[in-house]
């Protein structure tokens, strides 16, 4: 059985790519902004188990200013989603 909700993150070209489990199978979506990420959380939720690609640790290779950039973006998305 697939894990429903956002279940995998990867840094990609200055944004975050999400793998999302749905009742019809897995789909991919992308957040280029904090608002994009919040919208995806609101629409799909977060799975009970969430994994991250190593690209989340080496985000500068994926267009972020520093290696922590993707994790900082994810943290900001979570913080903004929590306020809604």
Give the residue carrying structure tokens 């979506």.
Answer: 29
Query: Which whole number is the average pLDDT over 17-40?
Result: 97
Show the tokens assigned to 20.
């999302």
| 3 state DSSP class of 24 | coil
How many folded domains does the chain comprise?
Answer: 1
Tell me the residue range of the domain where 30 lies.
5-82
Of 24, 25, 29, 33, which Cα lies nearest the Cα of 9? 29
| 3 state DSSP class of 80 | helix
pLDDT one-digit tens code per residue, 36-74: 999 999 999 999 999 999 999 999 999 999 999 999 999
């Amino acid at each position: 059985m697939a894990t429903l909700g956002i279940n995998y993150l990867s840094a990609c070209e200055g944004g975050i790519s999400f793998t999302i489990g749905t009742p019809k199978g897995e789909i991919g979506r992308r957040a280029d902004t904090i608002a994009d990420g919040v919208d995806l959380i609101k629409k799909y939720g977060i799975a009970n188990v969430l994994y991250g690609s190593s690209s989340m640790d080496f985000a500068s290779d994926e267009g972020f200013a520093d290696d922590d950039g993707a994790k900082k973006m994810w943290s900001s998305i979570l913080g903004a989603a929590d306020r809604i």
